[in-house]
A and B are shown apart, each in its own frame.
Chain A
């Protein structure tokens, strides 16, 4: 754009954005400051915005609590890994079907698929709980993991759009070479939609890593909790009248946040390709 921007306007824009960034960054700085505070400062709640104390041992102390943070971390990793595997496999299969294969009833099924995106999860929450309870899956990660292996309407829609854009001649050539439909899916389509699959993996990570309500419903045993639930438990379990160990709670919050930041920075390239859609990852 060759629209000239006046000197004064330019610097007022910079000033505005800098103040705004500072305001939005302040809570994070405050968290770091609390996470590095001594137990005494925490007890007196005399926190400062700029860290004045540097008790890095808090990051070790959090793993020595009665609450097993190592387990929380491991549980979160298991949950997220299997959720990603499930979503990538199932959603890509379903998307390939809808993008490339024809069958009676296909359009109706696709409309049903799209309309399920509008159903709030709370409507199916209680019956799902009953199903998983009867399966004996309470206090396991299974109710959180298994549904991912049945795909998700949003991911299917996204991948279908992506596959539809690939030239159909690819499929035809592969078919002439004697490849069946599953062969086309696994050997031609899957390698070509890798960027989209990575985006799906990132979405799935984002949704599951910080997911709170699901674990809260299905997990009562502290040893089975993912990190998001574990950190909340730490903030709530102190006996009455006692102050929660806020410094350690904030260490936990940071441990919950840092993997999200890492994924955000490494995934930005893929997310930019999905410009419009990336914002909807906010619906947690």
Chain B
């Protein structure tokens, strides 16, 4: 009986096992090997040792710029998005009529596929005719040339990411609704101010949701591709080039498969390091209800 169960276990999970071997483990080993080669896809790969990594870290200035751009974009878009979501969710959580409608309205932009929103933002951010600069002009502000200027292109991309703020709002709001009313009632009896309630009750109890959002948001932003590909192609002067579009260009435009694989592994390392750092530090600031706080 036990043996039959074990056999059925392996039959049932076989799709994942096969998929894991063929589409994950095998490709990972192969891509690790490729990162030590020079390969143009047509001739056979040449083993060149650590040359790709040495070139990446010592010679390739575009790569460093790319890493910096990616971090700049990821940290600012995730942190600004987080604060904005918290702020908006806090208001939406008030027991007022019509809050569901507002929630739906705010979420709608997040349903727009990235291809469509990128194309939309090309028009919105056009220097003279775009809606954003015409709106700024109403207040007498001379809008910047956004996507065409090295200093403004990253803020433009961050602005675009904020259009999808509804995702974070929905997530945090669900977390806020999960906080037991008793906590708020007890606080009200004790005469806590609304500021105290927010910082001493809502925020700590929400920290697991914030944590989840932060990890997923950062890893997701490190992998930004479509926005850059459609809006800027990395320009002007590589000011908006990011890791994945650079990887794509190396692999599928210039057929430098080995170099591109090396970039992929650096990206992987970055994701692991950040996940580990956030996980380790989470003990200090994430509060789980079932846990007794370690002193």
Please give the residue numbers on chain A whose beta carbons come within 8 Å of chain B beta carbons, in ascending order. 1, 3, 5, 10, 13-14, 16-17, 20-21, 24-28, 30-31, 34, 45-47, 49, 90, 93-94, 96-98, 101-104, 106, 109, 112-113, 116, 118-131, 147, 149-151, 153, 156, 180-182, 185, 209-210, 212-213, 216-217, 228-229, 231-232, 235, 246, 249-250, 252-254, 256-257, 260-261, 264, 268, 275-276, 278-284
Q: List 24 A-B contacts (CB under 8 A).
A: A13-B96, A17-B88, A21-B102, A27-B131, A27-B163, A47-B129, A90-B19, A97-B9, A97-B10, A103-B5, A103-B6, A125-B247, A126-B261, A131-B27, A147-B19, A210-B116, A252-B116, A253-B116, A256-B113, A257-B116, A260-B113, A276-B171, A279-B216, A280-B212
Residues from chain A with Cβ under 8 Å of B219 in the complex: 118, 120, 283
In the complex, A275 Cα to B17 Cα: how many Å?
29
Q: How far is the CB of A47 from chain B (nearest CB, A)?
A: 7
**B226 and A212: CB pair below 8 A?**
yes
A120, B119: Cβ atoms under 8 Å?
no
- Asked whether, in the complex, the Cβ of A103 is within 8 Å of the Cβ of B131, the reply is no
A116 to B24, CA, bound (A): 8
Known: A27-B131, A102-B9, A256-B116. 18 other contacts (CB 8 A): A21-B105, A30-B124, A45-B126, A47-B129, A97-B12, A102-B5, A121-B223, A122-B268, A123-B28, A128-B27, A150-B18, A210-B114, A210-B116, A228-B115, A231-B119, A257-B116, A276-B171, A276-B212
Q: How far is the CA of A246 from the CA of B129 in the complex (A)?
A: 13
Q: How far is the CB of A98 from chain B (nearest CB, A)?
A: 7
3 nearest A-B residue pairs (beta carbon):
A150-B19, A210-B113, A97-B12
Determine whether B26 belongs to the interface, using a CB cutoff of 8 Å to chain A.
yes
CA A254 to CA B115, docked complex, whole Å: 11
> Complex formed: what's the CA distance from A149 to B16 in Å?
9
For A180, list chain B residues within 8 Å (CB): 8
User: CB distance B34 to A127 under 8 Å?
Assistant: yes
> Which of the residues B95, B129, B170, B260 comes within 8 Å of A5, measured between beta carbons?
B95
A24/B163 in contact, CB under 8 A: yes
Chain B residues within CB distance 8 Å of chain A: 2, 4-13, 15-20, 22-24, 26-28, 30-31, 34, 41, 88, 91-92, 94-96, 98, 102, 104-117, 119-124, 126, 129, 131, 135, 163-168, 170-171, 174-175, 177-178, 181, 184, 188, 209, 212-213, 216, 219-220, 222-223, 225-226, 229-230, 244, 247-248, 251-252, 257, 260-261, 264-265, 267-268, 271-272, 275
- B135: chain A residues at CB < 8 Å are 26
Q: Which residues of B contact A14 (CB under 8 A)?
A: 96, 98
- Contact at B184–A282, with CB atoms within 8 Å? no
In-complex Cβ contact of A182 among B8, B123, B209, B222 (8 A): B8
Q: Please state if B109 and A27 are interface contacts (CB–CB under 8 Å).
A: yes
CA distance A116 to B163 in the complex (A): 30
Chain B: which residue is nearest A213 at the CB level? B225
- Which residues of chain B are near A231, meaning CB under 8 Å? 115-116, 119
**Nearest-CB distance from B86 to chain A (Å)?**
14
Name the residue on B nearest A89 (C-beta): B15
Residues of B within 8 A of A90 (CB): 15-16, 19
Binding site secondary structure of chain B: helix
Closest Cβ of chain A to B93, distance in Å, is 9
Residues on the B chain within 8 Å of A13, using CB = 91, 94, 96
Residue of B nearest to A16 (CB): B91
- Known A-B contacts A276-B212, A284-B114; the reply to A20 vs B88 at CB < 8 A is yes
What residue of chain A has the Cβ atom nearest to residue B215's Cβ? Answer: A118
CA–CA, A13 and B216, complex, Å:
30
Q: In the bound complex, how far is the Cα of B27 from the Cα of A150, in angstroms?
A: 15
With a CB–CB cut-off of 8 A, which chain A residues contact B106?
A: 20-21, 24
Separation of A106 and B10 alpha carbons in the complex (Å)? 9
CB distance from B158 to the nearest CB of A (A): 15
Asked if B222 and A10 sit within 8 Å, CB to CB, the answer is: no
Let me know if A102 and B96 touch, CB within 8 A. no
State in angstroms the CA–CA spacing of A157 and B28 once bound together: 22
In the complex, which residues of chain B have a beta carbon less than 8 angstroms from the beta carbon of A246?
A: 123
* Chain B residues within an 8 Å CB radius of A279: 167-168, 170-171, 174, 213, 216
Contact (Cβ within 8 A) B247 A45: no
Find out whether the CB atom of A94 lies under 8 angstroms from the CB atom of B13: yes
What separation, in Å, do the CA atoms of A128 and B16 have in the docked complex?
16
Of residues B91, B98, B109, B123, which shows the largest number of chain A Cβ atoms within 10 Å of its Cβ? B123
